[in-house]
Structure 1
C-alpha cells in the first residue's frame, strides 16, 4: 500500500468522528485507531496509610483544619477557597496573633484566590483566642480561620 494512501487515511480519520479505520488491499492491510484517553478514578479509604506508613491526603487535611465543635467565642471563617496568608508579605508581622484585641472591620489575614490577594476583615470585635489556619496553606470556603471572644 502506498504511503500517500496511508497518510490520506490518517487525515480522514483525524477529521472525522470515526474511532478507527481498517482497509484491506490484496494481501496488505492497514488498521488505524484514534488514541483514546482514559480517565482513571481512584478512591482512598479514610484513615488508611500507604505502603510506607504515610498518612493519606484526607487524613492530613483533617489534621490541618481542626474542627471546632463548641467554640468559646465567634468564629471568623474563610469566605472563599484559596491560600491563607497571616501577613501582608513573607517575613512581615502577622495581621493578628493570639491575645490581640481586634475591632470589627480590622484586616485579619489575606486569602489568595486566582492570583488575587483578598483582605479578610473581622465581623467581630474582641480578643483573638485561637489562630486555626497555617500560613501559606490552602483553605476551603467556610473553613474556620480564627476564634474571637
Structure 2
C-alpha cells in the first residue's frame, strides 16, 4: 500500500462518520481514529501542586475538582512534635539497599545529622539527614512511594 492510497483511506474514513477503522494487509496494519462532530473527547489530568500560592489568579481554572490531599496529622495531638519534610521531589526509600536494614524505625532515637531516608531524584540517591535530635514518633510515607517537595515524612518528638 503506497502513501497515496493511505491518504485516500484517511479522507474516506474522515468523511464516512466512523469513529475508528482497523485495516490489516500482509505486513501492514493501519488504525485510523477520528472524532465525530458533536462528540468531544476530554481527558483530565489532576496533579497535586506543592503550593496553591504559586498559581496566578488569572491562570486559575473556572472550576476545580476536589483532590484528596494527603492526610495530615491532627494539630492538637501532635502540637509538640516536629515534622521533617521532603526537601525534594522523588521516590522515598527507608533503607539504603533492598538487602540492608531500615535507616530508622518508630521509637528509635535520632541525633542531628543521622540519615533518616533516601530520596531518589533523576537517578541520584539523596540522603536526608535529621536537623534535630529526638525520637521518631511516626513515619508518614510508605517505602518506595513518590514524594513531593515539602511533603511531611516523619514526626519527631524533640524532648
Instruction: Tell me which interval the TM-score lies in, with the shorter structure as reference length.
Output: 0.5 to 0.7
Q: 2:50 maps to what in 1?
A: none
Q: Give every structure 1 segment of 4 or more consecutive aligned residues whose post-TM-superposition deviation is greater than 3 Å.
A: 43-46
Aligned partner (choices 66, 76, 85) of residue 71 of structure 2: 66
| In structure 1, C-alpha distance between the alignment counterparts of 2:87 and 2:43, rounded to whole Å | 30
Cα offset, 1:137, TM superposition: 0.3
Matches for 1:3-42 after TM superposition, within 5 Å: 41-42=43-44
Secondary structure at 1:133's aligned position in 2? coil
Match of 1:117 among 117, 125, 132: 125
Between Structure 1 and Structure 2, how many residues are aligned?
Answer: 105
1:43 shift after superposition: 5.7
Aligned match of 1:81: 89
Cα RMSD, aligned residues only? 3.0
Unaligned runs of 5+ residues in structure 1 are: 1-5, 7-39, 47-57
Q: Where do 5+ consecutive residues of structure 2 fail to align? A: 5-41, 47-64
- SS of the residue aligned with 1:135? coil
Shift of 1:69: 4.0
1:111/1:117 contact within 8 Å kept: yes
- Report the alpha carbon displacement of residue 41 of structure 1 after superposing the two structures with TM: 4.4
Q: Distance in 2 between matches of 1:142 and 1:96?
A: 20
Distance 1:140 1:43, change over 3 A: closer
- The farther-off stretch of 85-94 and 104-113 is 85-94
Residue aligning to 1:36: none
Q: Deviations over 1:6-27 (max 9, x none)?
A: 8xxxxxxxxxxxxxxxxxxxxx
- Give the SS at the match of 2:143: coil
Q: Does the 8 Å contact 1:66/1:132 carry over to 2?
A: no
